[in-house]
Amino acid sequence: MHIGSARTALLNYLFARHSGGVFVLRIEDTDVARSDARYETSILDDVEWLGLSWDEGPDRGGPCGPYRQSERLAGYAAAAEELVRTGRAYRCFCSAARLEELRAARLAQGLMPLYDRRCLGLSPQEVERRMAAGEPAAIRLRVPDGEVRVNDLILGPVTFSSDVIGDFIIRRSDGGAAYNFAAALDDRDMGITHVIRGDDHLTNTARQLMLFAALESAPPRYAHHSLILGPDGGKLSKRHGATAVGDFRELGYLPQAITNYLALLSWSHGDEEVMPLARLVAEFDLAGLASSPAVFDQAKLDWLDHQHILALDPGEHERRFAARLPAGTPPQAAKALAAAFQPSLVAYGQAEQVAAPVLERPVLDAGVQPALAPAAPWLRGFGDLRAGAPEWLTAEAARDVLAAYRRLGAEVGVKPRELLMPLRLALTGCEHGPELHYVLAALDRHEALERVAAAVALAATAQSEEGAP
C-alpha cells in the first residue's frame, strides 16, 4: 500500500469518524490481471496497522455486501444491459487492433485519443446478428454533448467537456466491469455519501457523474486532495526512498506517527503538530484541507516519530525496542538499553544498530592504548567494585556503582573524565554513547569484568612497551 493511498484512507477515516458516519473498506478488484489475494491481505493489514478500523468490509461484512467487486459481477452485468436497453449505452465490436490504430491516428493529428463512435450507428439487427454469431462486444456509455461539472469540496467547481472524455467502456468484451462503472454502481448501491481521493481521479469523477446521470441516481459528494510529491517535485516514488506503508512498518516507525504526519501534509493545525489519532478525529475539518501539492519531508516524519516515541509508556517502548534486538538478548539488557535510547531514538529499526556497541564485546586495538594506559589502576578498582555487586544491576544500582567509582578517584585526585572515558572505552570501545549507568545495567557481572580485564591487559602491554630499552 503506497503511502499516498494510506493518506487517502486516513482522510476518509477522519471524515467518517468526525461526522459520525460509516467508514467502508471496499476491494476494487475488477482488474483480474492486477488483483491477487495477497494484495488484499496486505491492504487490510496495513490499514489495520495504521489504526484505521473500518465498519464494513470484506472481512467483517455489512448490510451492503459483498465488499469485493469480483463478487458483484452479476449486478454490473444487469445494470449495463439496462443502460443498453434504454439507449444510454451501446455495444462496441471494435477490436483491440482497430482501437489502437484509431488512438495512434488521433494522436498523430494532435487530437485526444477518443472513440469515433463507429458502433453507435449499427442497426439493432446488425447488433443482434453479430451477437448471435458470438462476436465479442464491449459496452460503451453514450456520453451526451455538453459539460459535466464536479463540485469538489476541496477544489471548488471543476468543469469537463464531453469532447475530452468520449464514449468510454463500462463493460469489457470479456464480461468484466470497467473501474468507473463498478465504482459508481457500488457507491449507489452502498449508499456512499462522500468519496475523498487524490486529484488524479478528477477525470474518473467526471465519468462517474455521467454514469450517475445515466443511472438516474444522486451521486455522492467528492473531495479531491492533492498528491504527495518527492523533494524534487516529482510524484513520490521508490527513487525517493521508502514509499509503502510496509516499508515504514519494517523500518520501525510508529503507526500513530505515520497518521499524524500524513494528516499534517494536507491540514494545518497552527503551531501544534504532535497529535494522536483520536485528536485528529476530534478536530478534523474537510474544509481545512489544502489544495496545493504536499512535499514529502522525511526529516519532519522522523521528528514526529521521535516525539511519539518520547510520549510512549516506558513499558510499551521497552517492548517495541526489545523486539528489534538480536535473538537471545537478555531481558535485563533490553530493558536498560530501551531506557537509554528512548530520548534519542528516531525509529525502532535503529534499535539493533544503536545497541550493538553495548551488546557486542569491543575489539580494542593499539589506537586506544594511550587513553587506557594511565587509567589501568582505576579500571582495576572499578573491577573490584563491580565484582562485589549483583550479577545484574538496575539502572539505579549502576548509578551507585559509578558513584563509588568516582569517590575512589576523588580520593587520589583523579577527575571524573579521566575515570569515565577510559571505562567507556573498556566497556564499549567507543568514546561516546548512552549514559554509562545504562551501559552497566545492560551487561552482566561476568561480561563487564571480562571487558575491563581486556582493557587493563591492553593498557599493561602499552606500559611494558614504554618501559622496554
pTM assigned to the model: 0.91
**Active-site residue, selected from the candidate residues 238, 300, 335, 415:** 238
Whether residue 121 has pLDDT greater than 60 = yes
pLDDT classification of 35: cutoffs 50, 70, 90 = confident
pLDDT at 234: 84
Q: Is 238 a catalytic residue?
A: yes
What pLDDT sits at residue 466?
Answer: 52
Per-residue model confidence (pLDDT) at position 468: 42
**What's the chain's average pLDDT?**
94
Categorize the per-residue pLDDT at 463 as very low, low, confident or very high, splitting at 50, 70 and 90: low
What is the model's pLDDT at position 158? 97
* Pairing mode of beta strands 138-141, 89-92: antiparallel
Please check the confidence at residue 462 and state whether its pLDDT lies above 70: no
Whether 204 has a pLDDT exceeding 90, the answer reads yes
pLDDT value at residue 294: 87
pLDDT of residue 34: 75
Tell me how far apart the alpha carbons of residues 147 and 160 are, in angstroms, rounded to a whole number.
Answer: 6
Query: What architecture is the 366-467 domain classified under in CATH?
Result: Orthogonal Bundle (1.10)
Q: Where are the domains of the chain?
A: 314-359, 366-467
Q: For residues 70-94, give the mean pLDDT.
A: 97
Mean pLDDT of 235-252: 85
Average pLDDT value for residue range 301-314: 97
Q: Which one has a higher pLDDT value, 38 or 7?
A: 7
Average pLDDT rounded to a whole number, residues 322-342: 98
Is pLDDT of 469 > 90? no
pLDDT tens track for 362-403: 998 888 888 898 999 999 999 999 999 999 999 999 999 999
pLDDT band at 240 (very low <50, low <70, confident <90, very high): confident
Is 272 a residue whose pLDDT tops 90? Answer: no
pLDDT in tens, 152-165: 999 999 999 998 99
User: Which of 21-25, 123-127, 340-344, 416-420 has the weakest average pLDDT?
Assistant: 416-420
In the chain, pLDDT over 70 holds for what percent of residues?
Answer: 98
Check residue 266 and give its pLDDT: 82
Provide the greatest CA pair distance for the chain.
115
- The CA distance from 3 to 242, in Å, is 9
The alpha carbon torsion through 142, 148, 151, 155 (nearest 10 deg) reads: 110
Give the pLDDT confidence score for residue 30 in this predicted structure: 85
Within a 10 A sphere around the Cβ of 271, how many other Cβ atoms?
A: 5
Q: Nearest to residue 306, comparing CAs of 240, 256, 245?
A: 256
Q: Residue 100 has what pLDDT?
A: 96
Q: How do residues 105-118 score in pLDDT, each as one tens digit? A: 999 999 989 999 99
Q: Picking from 26-40, 212-226, 385-399, which range would have the lowest pLDDT averaged per residue? A: 26-40
